[in-house]
Amino acid sequence: MKKINTLMAATVLAASAAMPAVAEKWDMPMAYSASNFHSATGAEFAKCVTTGTGGDIEIVTHPSGSLFKGADIKRAIQTGQAPIGERLLSGHQNENALFGFDSVPFLATSFDDSDKLWKAAKPTMEKVLADQNLTLLYAVPWPPQGLYFKNEVGSVADMKGIKFRSYNNATSRLAELTGMLPVTIEAAEISQAFATGVAESMVSSGSTGYDRKVWESLNYFYEVDAWLPRNYVMVNSDVWSGVSESSKNVIRGCAELAEYAGNWRSKEYTGFTLQGLRDGGMTVGPASDQMVSELKEIGVTMTNEWLEAAGDEGKAIVEAFKSMQ
């Protein structure tokens, strides 16, 4: 609470120093439902900026992929179709392997390790984004990723032939190595995909499953804590360069507060959503020892593949992360 109060005070002070300018409306596309904690955090960030700048910059959020579909959000920000937005950057690992640093299986499997990995990767990610005309404002992790299935699964062999929802290179590769069939599905389309049988499984957090009420179609959630991917809020760098220094200070303060609140929410939401899955009728619990062992072997393969694709910068991130252990 002390940190939150300090940040709020800093934001208010910065706002009081801001001089009125021509009001701007920033539409902020977001891929996940309004009830998702990332979207809720983004809405509070938007309100903080709007209030803090005295309406000089009004940010209006558009959740559920209503303005741009998830896969199109990053490009929309880069090209100025939207000044600001939120995106799961690992969804663009095909552009640059470095975007997948937070989706390397079993590299960082806890919130503490995820935080360390982010500290190791942040300078590199800021540079990569800057080269794409994007300025990072804040990033928030999802809860640990687990495996959802319609039917009981006890080993990798049991997964063969199952239609698996993928959302980035890592999830597609995981499907291939387990014998599942990857089907690319955005977050906003999850409920329909499972209801119609387009997909029968996915790796995701309890949060996504809870928000989309997947218990209506799926029956099992296995806690494997594979990784903790991050959502990123970015602003078009050309737009950012035109923002007054006083408004930038407000936005930075609101972003720091949002990152802190988002991290806290993610941790709290983990237990809440898993219980929500249970209440919906799903069986929730740890995966079998055999499944965990087999998945970790696959994780080694995927880690080596990512390190090769990410080159020296990727290796430097992993080495910096491991030095913090």
Q: What band does 5 get if pLDDT is binned at 50, 70 and 90?
A: very low
216-245 mean pLDDT: 97
- State how many domains the chain has: 2
Pairing of strands 201-204, 163-166: parallel
pLDDT digits over 34-51, tens only?
999 999 999 999 999 999
Cα separation, 234 vs 161, in Å, equals 38
DSSP for 180-203?
-EEEE--GGGHHHHHHTTS-SEEE
DSSP state of 144: P
- Helix, strand, coil percentages (3-state) for the chain, rounded to 5, are 55, 15, 30
The pLDDT assigned to 37 comes to: 95
Residue 42, judged by CB atoms within 10 A of its CB (0-12, 13-18, 19+), counts as buried
Rounded to whole angstroms, how far apart are CA atoms 66 and 161? Answer: 33
> What tokens does 277 get?
């899955």
CB 313 within 8 A of CB 124: yes
Please indicate, yes or no, whether residues 106 and 158 belong to a single structural domain of this protein: no
Same domain for 187 and 114? Answer: no
pLDDT band at 17 (very low <50, low <70, confident <90, very high): very low
| Residues 156, 157, 159, 162, Cα dihedral to 10° | 150
For residue 21, the model assigns a pLDDT of: 52
Q: Is the Cβ–Cβ distance between 49 and 14 less than 8 Å?
A: no
- Backbone angles phi and psi of 44, in degrees to 5: -70, -40
Q: Is residue 36 located within the same domain as residue 167? A: no
- Provide the pLDDT for residue 187: 86
Average pLDDT over residues 304-309: 97
pLDDT band at 12 (very low <50, low <70, confident <90, very high): very low
Contact 155, 275 (CB under 8 A): no
> Would you state the pLDDT for residue 325?
87
79-114 tens-digit pLDDT: 999 999 999 999 999 999 999 999 999 999 999 999
Q: 1 pLDDT exceeds 50?
A: no
Q: Are residues 174 and 281 in the same domain?
A: yes
| 16 shares a domain with 130 | yes
34 closest CA partner among 42, 23, 45: 42
pLDDT class for 22, splitting at 50, 70, 90? low
Q: Determine contact, residues 115/267, Cβ cutoff 8 Å.
A: no
- % residues pLDDT > 70 (the chain): 93
Same domain, 318 and 286: yes
How far is CA 121 from each of CA 26, 45, 125, 262, 317, rounded to the nearest angstrom? 28, 23, 6, 19, 5
Check whether residue 264 and residue 279 sit in a common domain. Answer: no
Confidence of residue 10 (pLDDT cuts 50, 70, 90): low
Mean pLDDT computed over every residue of the chain: 93
Whether residue 294 sits in one domain with residue 200: yes
Question: Per-residue pLDDT averaged across 126-148, rounded?
Answer: 97
The pLDDT score that the predictor gives to residue 23 is 87
CATH number of the domain where residue 179 is located = 3.40.190.170
Considering the domain architecture, whether residues 163 and 50 belong to the same structural domain is answered as no
Pair 65, 188 in one domain = no
The residues, ordered by sequence, that sit 6+ positions from 185 with a Cβ below 8 Å of its Cβ are 165, 166, 167, 193, 198, 199, 202
pTM for the full model? 0.88
What pLDDT was estimated at residue 7?
A: 54
Tell me which residue range forms the domain holding 54: 2-141+230-269
8 A C-beta contact, residue 209 and residue 278: no
The SS3 of residue 271 is helix
Query: Is the pLDDT assigned to residue 54 strictly greater than 70?
Result: yes
CA separation for the pair 39, 61 (Å, rounded): 8
Place of tokens 């300090």: 6
Pair (285, 177) in one structural domain? yes
Q: Which of 9-23, 127-141, 228-242 has the lowest mean pLDDT?
A: 9-23
Which residue did the predictor score with more confidence, 168 or 279? 279
- Say whether both 168 and 312 belong to one domain: yes
pLDDT digits (tens, 9 = 90+) for 245-288: 999 999 999 999 999 999 999 999 999 999 999 999 999 999 99
Q: What integer pLDDT is reported at residue 20 of this predicted model?
A: 44
Average pLDDT over residues 69-80: 97
